[in-house]
Structure formats: structure tokens, C-alpha cells
Amino acid sequence: MPKRALTPELIAATALELGDRDGDPAMSMRRIAAELGCDPMAIYRHFANREALLDAVADLALAGVAAPGPDLRWDQRLSELLTEVRGAALRHPGIAAHVAARPPLGANGRRLSAAITGALADAGLTPSGVVQSTQALIAYVAAALAMTVKAGARDERWHRVSAVLGAGMPVVGSEEQFAYGLRLMINGIRGEAAGGGQGSVHSPIRE
Amino acid sequence: MPKRALTPELIAATALELGDRDGDPAMSMRRIAAELGCDPMAIYRHFANREALLDAVADLALAGVAAPGPDLRWDQRLSELLTEVRGAALRHPGIAAHVAARPPLGANGRRLSAAITGALADAGLTPSGVVQSTQALIAYVAAALAMTVKAGARDERWHRVSAVLGAGMPVVGSEEQFAYGLRLMINGIRGEAAGGGQGSVHSPIRE
DNA sequence: ACCTGAACACCGTTCAAGT
DNA sequence: ACCTGAACACCGTTCAAGT
């Protein structure tokens, strides 16, 4: 097989493939290099360090996620988009934890963040509310994703949480659980947009 | 200095101290052993592996957090408790990321989880809602914590997110940002308890 | 000037050898 | 039976030596 010229794109795609196939410990500089048939140091020509490479791989994992069209209501757009982000990350189990752990600064991350802020602006939040809600939603998706990843594989510890909290309940990390929490956030945002202004931390909508 | 007898408690306390002082890469089996003046393998007498040790250390970091008294309203109890959990974790920067990354299965974690479920039960949620909301809240706190930890140190990448999302806004990982997201969740829970039952994902309280 | 790969300074964990 | 520490199989990254 002819050795293709090394590019950032090829390196990231190879790392993603390797992670999908053999799990995230397979995404070491050495093993990625071996898969590419090059010296480990050759990768450092294209990425400053492992962190930078994983940023690119994490962003690549979100490439397939499309922002929902503007014909949907803001809350539907949000829940569809974030559910798809979660799904896309889970389709790449090797990098999912990294997607959850790092800020969405890549091309796809910025594109999807912009879609979130767009939906929130349509919800009628203040500019400050838009930014803060975006960050809160990203935080929630990241955490739910991290939980799902940990609950998967053979790490049964998160399953024990379900046992501790209550029997017969939706399993930690399930899509059901994700949707529930997302609904809480969106309902909270709706309340914020409708009534509550700045200092409503302890003032309920109705007592 | 006389070498104290090795116990799980002493090992965990030493690891926590080491993490506080020199950051989380200092919490390696080898360096903890060096600090204790023992062979690295001696730790494996008391913990199955590094994961198990970090579980204990993460739980220890939450030892000082007290569950708020029952004289407060459920929503105040929640926001006080979760704010204190975040604060306690941040006081131990070495282990904060691990607190965020693992399920609250230690003694303190279970104690605090129970306090959350107690508050949510008082809010009037269904048993299933209590469990799912608990998990969603834990997810949110974990993620906000992880963001704050990453935003600190010299990882300026999360700060760039603020720049991307909008200028002059509360910084990612700030207490302000944390409180805002927490308010969203609590308001969402209030809505869930008051009106919305099972399938209200797309049915707003008011249109 | 560019690239390679040996070497450095680490890891977590296994396991054989010592007491 | 218990404990020690050498050894295994790795890391990410630096840097000197080669072309």
C-alpha cells in the first residue's frame, strides 16, 4: 500500500478510526504513528502536541451533525441538536470522553455552538442569558456524555449509582435520562425567557 | 520522623495533600509511595488499583460538606448544597477533575446524594423524577466543575470560548456561570413538579 | 533545513525472588 | 505467608545525530 502524504486531516482521521476500533487507549502518539506507518515524531510536524491532535479528532467526530433548520421552534431545535451531538459522539466511543472534556473550539464545535446561541436568541433571552445558557447546555451535554461513556464498557460503577438511588429506574447514562435532564434545562430556559430576569434565584414562578 | 502504619485513610489523605500541593500529575502511585516512604506496591495492599485509590481521595475531598438543614426550602437546600460541593472540590484542585469524573459512591458521595434526593422528594417530584433529576443535577455539577478546573490553571482555551460566544460576558467556569445554570435546572425541576408530567418534552408551560 | 530515532523521564501493574 | 523491588510494557516529548 502506498504511503499517503501526511496531513493533519489524515492523521486525525486515522486516530479516530483507531479509537473506534480499539478504544481510547489506542489513540497514543506511538500507535497512531504505527498505523500511519510513520515515526511518532512526524506527527509533531502537524500538531503541537497530543492535546492539539485530540482537539482535532474530537471536532472531526462532530462533522456529521447538522444544525436543525429554522422551521422548528427554538426548543425543538435545541433538543434535536443536542441529542444529535450526543449520538454522534457515542458513535465514536474512543473519542467521546474527549469530546465531553474539551471546549468546542474546532470548526464543527463553533458551528454547533452558533446554532445553540441562535436558538436561544430566538427564545427571547438577553444577550448575557444566551451566553450563560449556552455554556450551561454545553456543560450538561458534556457531563451526560461522560456519564454514558463511563457507564458503558465494563465500568459497572455508574450502574451501582442507579441501585443506590432507587431500584427499577432508568439506567444512568441512558438516552431517557439524557432527555429528562435536557427537558429540565430547556424548561428552565423557557422560564428565564418568559418571566425571571436577573436576580430570580430564589423567587419561584409560583409558590 | 517515625513511619506511621499504612492505612487506607493515611494513603488517601497523603494523596490529597500531594495533589493540593503539586497538582494532579503528582498523584501517581510512585510519588504517593515516595511521600509515604513506602514501596509503591505497598499501596496495592489497601487499594485494588489507582482507580480505587482516587475514588477514596475524591470522596475525602467532600468530607467537609454538610447537608443543609431541613428548615430551608427544597430549592434553597439544593442550590446551597451543590454550591458547597463545587466549592469543596475546588479547594482541592488536584482531585477536582476526578470528583467530577466519577460517580458519588463513597461515604460522602452517598450522603450528599441522599440529601439531593431528599430535597427533590420535598419538591413533589415522582419517584422516577427524583432519581432522574438527581442524576441530571449531579451531571451538571460535575460538568461545571470540570469546566472550572480546565478554565483555571494555564489552560486558556476555555477562556477563548467566552471570546467566541460573546464579549464582556461572565467568564466560563465562574461561580456566576455556575449559579446561572443551576438556577435553570432548579427552575426546570420546579416546572416539572408543578405541572409537567411524563411526556411534556415539547409542551411549554406557557406559549 | 529537514527529518529520524535514540534516549529521557516517567507511568501502572505483574511477578519472581527473597525473608 | 508476607513483602519487596526488579522488570514489563508502555507513555509523551526532547534532542542530538544523521542526511
Question: pLDDT above 90 covers what percent of chain A?
Answer: 66
Q: Which residue of A has its CA nearest to B73?
A: A202
- From residue A62, give the alpha-carbon distance in Å to each of A31, A46, A112, B160, B165: 23, 21, 9, 20, 19
Protein A186 CA to nucleic acid C11 C1', in Å?
A: 43
Mean pLDDT value across residues A112-123: 96
User: pLDDT digits over B107-126, tens only?
Assistant: 999 999 999 999 999 999 99
Other C-beta atoms closer than 10 Å to the C-beta of B137 total: 25
Would you say A140 and A185 are in contact if contact means Cβ atoms under 8 Å apart?
yes
Structure pTM? 0.86
Contact B136 A177 (CB under 8 A): yes
Residues 51-110 of A with CB under 8 A from B: 73, 75-76, 79, 100-105, 110
pLDDT at site A123:
96
Contact B131 A162 (CB under 8 A): yes
pLDDT at site A160:
58
| pLDDT tier for residue A150 given thresholds of 50, 70 and 90 | confident
pLDDT at site B39:
94
Closest CA to A125 of A139, A135, A112, A110: A135
Considering only residues B175 and A169, tell me which one the structure prediction assigns the higher pLDDT: B175
Give the up-direction half-sphere exposure of residue B32: CA atoms within 13 A in the CB hemisphere: 30
Q: How far apart are CA A27 and CA A90, in angstroms?
A: 16
| pLDDT tier for residue B164 given thresholds of 50, 70 and 90 | low
Q: Which of B72, B82, B132, B201 to mutate to probe the A interface, most A CBs <10 Å?
A: B132
pLDDT at site A200:
43
Q: At a CB cut-off of 8 Å and minimum separation 6, what does A147 contact?
A: A158, A172, A173, B135, B139, B142
pLDDT at site A131:
92
Q: Which residue of B has its CA nearest to A184?
A: B188
pLDDT at site B1:
38
Contact B188 A191 (CB under 8 A): yes
Is a pLDDT exceeding 80 seen at residue A97?
Answer: yes
Considering only residues A33 and A104, tell me which one the structure prediction assigns the higher pLDDT: A33
Protein B90 CA to nucleic acid C14 C1', in Å?
A: 36
Other C-beta atoms closer than 10 Å to the C-beta of B74 total: 20
pLDDT at site B202:
41
Contact B187 A183 (CB under 8 A): no
pLDDT at site B126:
94
| pLDDT tier for residue B156 given thresholds of 50, 70 and 90 | low
Q: How far apart are CA B142 and CA B150, in angstroms?
A: 12
| Secondary structure (3-state) at A68 | coil
Considering only residues A23 and B204, tell me which one the structure prediction assigns the higher pLDDT: A23
Mean pLDDT value across residues B144-154: 73
Is a pLDDT exceeding 70 seen at residue B158?
Answer: no
Considering only residues A204 and B121, tell me which one the structure prediction assigns the higher pLDDT: B121
Would you say A91 and A187 are in contact if contact means Cβ atoms under 8 Å apart?
no
User: pLDDT digits over B41-100, tens only?
Assistant: 999 999 999 999 999 999 999 999 999 998 999 999 999 999 999 999 999 989 998 888
Closest CA to B100 of B143, B56, B68, B134: B143
For chain C, which bases have at least one atom within 7 A of a protein Cβ?
3-6, 10-15
Q: At a CB cut-off of 8 Å and minimum separation 6, what does A118 contact?
A: none
State phi, psi for B199 to the nearest 5 degrees.
Answer: -100, 45
Q: Measuring from the CA of residue A50 to each C1', which nucleotide is nearest? A: D12
Question: Which residues on chain A are in Cβ contact (under 8 Å) with B150?
Answer: 101-103
Low-confidence winner among A112-126, A143-157, B15-29 (lowest mean pLDDT): A143-157
| pLDDT tier for residue A93 given thresholds of 50, 70 and 90 | confident
Mean pLDDT value across residues A140-166: 69
Question: pLDDT above 70 covers what percent of chain B?
Answer: 82
User: pLDDT digits over B19-44, tens only?
Assistant: 999 999 999 999 999 999 999 999 99
**Sign, CA torsion B116/B118/B119/B123:** positive
pLDDT at site A154:
42
Question: pLDDT above 90 covers what percent of chain B?
Answer: 66
pLDDT at site A41:
96
| pLDDT tier for residue A174 given thresholds of 50, 70 and 90 | confident
Does the CB of A13 sit below 7 A from strand D?
Answer: no
Considering only residues A72 and A165, tell me which one the structure prediction assigns the higher pLDDT: A72
Is a pLDDT exceeding 90 seen at residue A168?
Answer: no
Contact A190 B205 (CB under 8 A): yes
Q: At a CB cut-off of 8 Å and minimum separation 6, what does A100 contact?
A: A89, A141, A142, A143, A145, A146, A149, B143
Mean pLDDT value across residues A78-99: 94
Question: Which residues on chain B are in Cβ contact (under 8 Å) with A181?
Answer: 132-133, 135-136, 139-140, 185
